[in-house]
């Protein structure tokens, strides 16, 4: 018997079908060990000794594998063919050796780039040992992320209340977004004018020509800078005679792009089918692991974590066959195309992302896939096939035109492009993020010395525009160009920035939140080296050299830790006033935008004598007056967060409060506030007098972003409860309101929760009556959201639905409930993803509808629960930074029981604390 270990149950199921009864395929469910949540898990004083701990779920997996191995002659480690896969195999081997179950058992490591029968069979015939260099590279990255997160995050907690974390790659990615925002804020628009002549040939064809020169001088795009200059050119051209000076037609070619790498796949999926990078990787993982087609489970694409663009010779040959069959021999180039990577630090260890069998046309496999999978497979298939197609042949025509007005000679130019042979363009054209993508125009036939007549002359004013904000696709592209991070980590790094509320998505663009800008400003001021692009890229180069067995991984850590630990130590004496002044200067354009009248933007508008400065409070950062407490002026950080006059909240204002305006009926101020249980709107101010009536408040309904709340919406929320309808039998009102557990409708003592698609401000009479009647007919039981049916479980036949729960969306088969991961789109979840979550929840022994008593987590010595901040820090930013944990395979959403700390044990048995570091980690 041979035992095969892979990462995921889906992968195990597929491979199990390819191997005979002599094999048993088990899944590790990703990593089985992690660095424990405590100081010393990576010990620089012991030459970076790393303390690994089996997780609860991992211990169960290891026990199953150990049991199977006891009766086997060979253990085959078949995890993914990259650094993370190598590390998972190493962890499994180390854990089994610790259990001493490998005596007389041969250990082999195999890898395959695609999960197909042939690929698996070939891999099994070519076993090797674990690649220690790849493991060392993993250890170095994991240790770096731990050291940065575990040591830098507590500094943020102490110096910047409200800041959540910092990570090695996460912080640099955030700086890119913030730097772009700073460019936009400091950008000074420049006026310029374009002069365009609409001309007509003798045959009556009309076309446009642009001003390019006058009086023997070239005129560039920004050279005509005033209305007077533009009007002078327009006036002369109105009087000029136009003649064709030359016509030049040149052949040109456009070549196809290479097949996808991880990053280009994420970019194109974002542009063309609207998938976020994290979604793209989830869907690609499913296509790689295998889907059921015609009674057989097959992997549809090759491994999707790669920076290589080469393809196997057999795949190239198959692509050429498909091109000939589907598009004709004219689209097949004379020789196969070869590509090389231009990205910095590219390893090219694997093939490009491609279909495992190009003869599986997208239209033929679509019926076996859910919509997201079908669209992503089609994108990968078209890019792969197009990469081996003939180039497009173009003809670019340039017509130079002379406008003569008296002695003055003005030059114009018209350009056009004609596609002579579409080549690969018949199938695929790469998307663009920010560049202008004007359609090529076709020019009418013209010859030298032809006379042209004027139709009209247009002089148009323009202003230069700031660089656009990054989209997720363009940020991934920029990170890859700079050599920051690895392609396999980009998706999770972006997700972490959103989860930490450092950035938000607005119109598909990344906008830094105030919290993110302050964190970046702090790091730039006091840890600048560690958020520099070149430093981060150079560190990636060193880590790549480790994976190539060129340098020792501990040497890299020693060099890093020597300077980094000194930088951390240098912040111990750092005063809050120093931090605030540094941020005041660095973020001046953002915090203190220039005033139209040119007056001092930092002068307090309330008392006149004080100076505005950044302040730190329990809700985070805000702007306040230096004359506090005599002057209590405060406002939000940026101009967009100010009240109507742009001057803030004035006397009595509070941090965490945004003034939306005044109620037209009462004249009281309407504010949006940060509360303990989330944002809410409030009418008026609370009175300090004892027994005074509290101001009216309303929570924001789930799904409503605070940034989307204006005065009109706030007044509607404050008007709740509102009468929606009258009960058909009693004639009593049915009211809509928001309660502790979300929006609901009410009739007397009967309450019915609104569904996730219902808007408490818009729900109509028919819907409200239906909910109340159903509730009354249900014998007093609450009417539950029936959810969205996404399919049927193949093994049990039970319907699988996605529902909105009190603690977020979840999937269920009627027996097991599994919460969706944070940030997951409930509308986009697929049957396969739901089944994986349910299976993982079942394995973890939770998620059933039977109620069990909850055990309160024990408190640590630092006064925090073990599930709280200390644990997040001690993960070394595996979750905080999102850097290297990002490329670990998806784990089940099992909840871990918080470990008891020393503080929870009897006093007599309490071990003395080794270091006081745990307190600083907890943020005290």
381: its two tokens:
């298939």
Question: CA 313, 314, 315: angle at the middle one, nearest 5?
Answer: 90
Q: How far, in Å, CA of 166 to CA of 877, rounded? A: 8
pLDDT tens track for 15-59: 988 888 889 999 998 889 988 877 889 999 999 999 999 877 888
Q: How far, in Å, CA of 546 to CA of 908, rounded? A: 47
168 CB neighbour count, 10 Å cutoff: 29
Higher pLDDT, 830 or 172: 172
Residue 176 pLDDT: 95
Pairing assessment for the beta strands 2-6 and 808-812 based on DSSP bridges? unpaired
Q: Is the pLDDT of residue 241 over 70?
A: yes
Q: Which residues fall within 8 angstroms of residue 639, CB to CB, at 6 or more apart? A: 593, 646
Annotated active-site residue in 18, 138, 146, 303: 303
Q: Which residues fall within 8 angstroms of residue 582, CB to CB, at 6 or more apart? A: 521, 522, 525, 526
Q: Is the pLDDT of residue 924 over 60?
A: no
pLDDT tens track for 180-225: 999 998 899 999 999 999 999 999 999 999 999 999 999 999 999 9
Q: Which residues fall within 8 angstroms of residue 460, CB to CB, at 6 or more apart? A: 193, 194, 196
Q: How far, in Å, CA of 94 to CA of 375, rounded? A: 41
Q: Is the pLDDT of residue 390 over 80?
A: yes
Name the pLDDT band for 454 (thresholds 50, 70, 90): very high
Segment 169-175 mean pLDDT: 92
Instruction: Rank 307-321, 330-344, 377-391, 737-751 by mean pLDDT and report only the highest.
Output: 377-391
Query: Among this protein's residues, is 288 annotated catalytic?
Result: no
pLDDT tens track for 470-526: 999 899 999 988 988 887 788 888 888 888 888 988 888 999 988 888 889 989 988
Residue 807 pLDDT: 64
Segment 670-679 mean pLDDT: 76
pLDDT tens track for 604-637: 988 888 889 888 776 667 888 988 888 888 877 7
Residue 38 pLDDT: 78
Q: Is the pLDDT of residue 71 over 90?
A: no
Name the pLDDT band for 342 (thresholds 50, 70, 90): low
Give 582's Cβ-side CA count (13 Å radius).
20
Residue 556 pLDDT: 95
Q: Is the pLDDT of residue 922 over 70?
A: no
Question: CA 678, 679, 683: angle at the middle one, nearest 5?
Answer: 135
Residue 150 pLDDT: 84
Name the pLDDT band for 555 (thresholds 50, 70, 90): very high
Residue 895 pLDDT: 38
Residue 138 pLDDT: 93
Q: How far, in Å, CA of 890 to CA of 881, rounded? A: 16
pLDDT tens track for 761-791: 888 888 888 888 888 876 444 444 556 777 7
Residue 107 pLDDT: 95
Q: Of 587, 576, 627, which Cα lies nearest the Cα of 606?
A: 627
Rounded to 5 degrees, what are φ and ψ at 511? -115, 125
DSSP H/E element including 804? strand 799-805
Residue 909 pLDDT: 39
Helices (H) and strands (E) in the chain, counts: 24, 34
Q: How far, in Å, CA of 312 to CA of 476, rounded? A: 26
Q: How far, in Å, CA of 244 to CA of 262, rounded? A: 50
pLDDT tens track for 519-551: 899 899 889 888 898 898 899 899 989 988 999
pTM value surpassing 0.75: no
- Listing DSSP states for 307-354 in one string gives ------HHHHHHHHHHHHHHH-GGGS-SS-------STT----SPPB-
Instruction: Rank 82-91, 438-447, 591-600, 890-899 by mean pLDDT and report only the highest.
Output: 82-91
Residue 598 pLDDT: 82
Q: How far, in Å, CA of 302 to CA of 350, rounded? A: 9
Name the pLDDT band for 888 (thresholds 50, 70, 90): very low
Higher pLDDT, 892 or 503: 503
* Rg for the chain, CA atoms, rounded: 32
Q: Which residues fall within 8 angstroms of residue 59, CB to CB, at 6 or more apart? A: 32
Residue 606 pLDDT: 85
Segment 872-893 mean pLDDT: 38
Instruction: Rank 241-255, 336-350, 644-658 by mean pLDDT and report only the highest.
Output: 241-255
pLDDT tens track for 703-746: 677 767 888 889 999 999 999 998 888 889 999 998 877 889 99
- Tokens 């495992």 — which residue? 356
Segment 901-915 mean pLDDT: 39
Q: How far, in Å, CA of 769 to CA of 767, rounded? A: 6
Q: Which residues fall within 8 angstroms of residue 138, CB to CB, at 6 or more apart? A: 83, 84, 86, 87, 90, 884
816 CB neighbour count, 10 Å cutoff: 20
CA dihedral 634, 636, 642, 643 (to 10 degrees): -50
Q: Of 434, 532, 525, which Cα lies nearest the Cα of 176?
A: 532
Q: Which residues fall within 8 angstroms of residue 658, CB to CB, at 6 or more apart? A: 636, 641, 643, 671, 672, 673
Segment 61-66 mean pLDDT: 92
* 41 close to 35: Cβ distance less than 8 angstroms: yes
328 CB neighbour count, 10 Å cutoff: 10
Name the pLDDT band for 451 (thresholds 50, 70, 90): very high
Residue 896 pLDDT: 40
Rounded to 5 degrees, what are φ and ψ at 589? -65, -30
């Amino acid at each position: 018997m041979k035992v095969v270990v892979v990462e995921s149950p889906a992968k195990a199921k597929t491979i199990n079908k390819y191997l005979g009864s002599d094999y048993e395929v088990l899944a590790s469910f990703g990593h089985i060990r992690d660095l424990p949540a405590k100081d010393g898990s990576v010990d620089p004083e012991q030459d970076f000794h790393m303390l690994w701990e089996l997780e609860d779920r991992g211990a169960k997996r290891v026990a199953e594998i150990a049991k199977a191995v006891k009766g086997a002659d060979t253990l085959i480690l078949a995890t993914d063919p990259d650094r993370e896969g190598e590390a998972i195999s190493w962890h499994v081997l180390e854990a089994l050796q610790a259990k001493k179950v490998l005596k007389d058992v041969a250990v082999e490591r195999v890898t395959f780039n695609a999960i197909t029968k042939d690929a698996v069979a070939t891999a099994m015939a070519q076993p090797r040992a674990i690649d220690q260099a790849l493991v060392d590279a993993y250890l170095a990255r994991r240790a770096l992320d731990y050291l940065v997160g575990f040591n830098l995050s507590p500094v943020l907690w102490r110096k910047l209340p409200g800041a959540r974390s910092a990570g090695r790659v996460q912080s640099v990615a955030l700086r890119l977004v913030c730097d772009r925002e700073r460019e936009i804020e400091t950008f000074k628009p420049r006026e310029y004018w374009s002069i365009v002549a609409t001309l007509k040939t003798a045959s009556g064809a009309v076309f446009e020509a642009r001003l390019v020169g006058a009086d023997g001088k070239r005129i560039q795009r920004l050279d005509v800078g005033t209305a007077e200059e533009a009007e002078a050119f327009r006036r002369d051209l109105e009087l000029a005679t136009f003649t064709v000076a030359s016509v030049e037609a040149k052949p040109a070619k456009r070549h196809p792009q290479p097949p996808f790498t991880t990053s280009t796949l994420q970019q194109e999926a974002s542009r063309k089918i609207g998938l976020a990078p994290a979604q793209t990787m989830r869907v690609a993982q499913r296509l790689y692991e295998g889907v059921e087609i015609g009674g057989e489970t097959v992997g549809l694409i090759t491994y999707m974590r790669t920076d290589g663009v080469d393809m196997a010779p057999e795949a190239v040959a198959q692509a050429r066959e498909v091109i000939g069959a589907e598009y004709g021999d004219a689209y097949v180039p004379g020789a196969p195309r070869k590509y090389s990577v231009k990205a910095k630090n590219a390893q090219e260890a694997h093939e490009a992302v491609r279909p495992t069998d190009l003869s599986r046309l997208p239209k033929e496999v679509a019926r076996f896939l859910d919509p997201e999978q079908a669209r992503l497979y089609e994108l990968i298939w078209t890019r792969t096939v197009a990469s081996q197609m003939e180039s497009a042949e173009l003809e670019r025509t340039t017509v130079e035109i002379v406008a003569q007005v008296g002695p003055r000679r003005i030059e114009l130019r018209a350009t056009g492009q004609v596609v002579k042979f579409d080549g690969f363009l018949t199938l695929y054209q790469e998307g663009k993020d920010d560049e202008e993508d004007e359609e090529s125009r076709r020019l009418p036939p013209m010859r030298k010395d032809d006379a042209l007549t004027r139709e009209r002359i247009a002089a148009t004013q323009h202003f230069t525009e700031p660089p656009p904000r990054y989209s997720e696709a363009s940020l991934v592209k920029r990170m890859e160009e700079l050599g920051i991070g690895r392609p396999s980590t980009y998706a999770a790094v972006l997700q972490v920035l959103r989860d930490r509320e450092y950035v938000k998505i607005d119109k598909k663009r990344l906008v830094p939140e105030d919290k993110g800008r302050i964190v970046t400003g702090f790091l730039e001021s006091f840890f600048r080296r560690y958020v520099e692009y070149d430093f981060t890229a150079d560190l990636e180069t060193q880590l790549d050299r480790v994976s190539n067995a060129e340098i020792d991984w501990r040497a890299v850590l020693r060099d890093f830790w020597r300077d980094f630990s000194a930088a951390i130590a240098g912040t111990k004496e750092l005063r809050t006033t120093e931090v605030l002044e540094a941020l005041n200067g660095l973020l001046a354009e953002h915090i203190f935008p220039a005033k139209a009248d040119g007056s001092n933007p930092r002068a307090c508008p309330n008392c006149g004598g004080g100076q505005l400065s950044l302040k730190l409070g329990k809700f985070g950062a805000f702007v306040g007056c230096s004359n506090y407490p005599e002057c209590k002026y405060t406002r939000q950080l940026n101009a967009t967060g100010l009240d109507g006059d742009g001057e803030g909240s004035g006397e009595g204002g509070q941090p965490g409060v945004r003034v939306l305006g005044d109620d037209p009926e009462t004249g009281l101020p309407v504010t949006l506030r940060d509360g303990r249980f989330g944002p809410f709107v409030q009418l008026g101010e609370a009175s300090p007098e004892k027994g005074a009536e509290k101001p009216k408040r309303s929570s924001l309904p789930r799904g409503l972003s605070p940034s989307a709340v204006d005065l009109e919406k706030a007044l509607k929320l404050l008007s709740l409860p509102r009468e929606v309808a009258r009960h058909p039998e009693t004639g009593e009102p049915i009211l809509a309101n928001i309660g502790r557990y979300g929006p609901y409708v009410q009739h007397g003592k009967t309450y019915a929760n609104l569904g996730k698609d219902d808007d408490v401000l818009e729900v109509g009479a028919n819907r409200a009556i239906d909910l109340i009647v159903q509730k009354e007919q249900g014998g007093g039981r609450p009417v539950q959201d029936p959810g969205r049916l996404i399919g049927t479980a193949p093994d049990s036949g039970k319907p699988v639905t996605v529902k909105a729960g009190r603690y977020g969306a979840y999937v269920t088969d009627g027996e097991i409930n599994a919460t969706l991961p944070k940030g997951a789109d409930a509308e986009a979840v697929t049957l396969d993803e739901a089944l994986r979550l349910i299976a993982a929840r079942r394995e973890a022994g939770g998620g059933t509808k039977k109620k069990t008593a909850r055990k309160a987590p024990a408190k640590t010595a630092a006064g925090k629960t073990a599930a709280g901040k200390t644990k997040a820090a001690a993960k070394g930013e595996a979750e905080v930074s999102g850097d290297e944990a990002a490329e670990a395979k998806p784990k089940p959403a099992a909840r871990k029981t918080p470990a008891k700390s020393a503080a929870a044990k009897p006093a007599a048995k309490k071990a003395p604390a080794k270091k006081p570091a745990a307190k600083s980690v907890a943020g005290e």
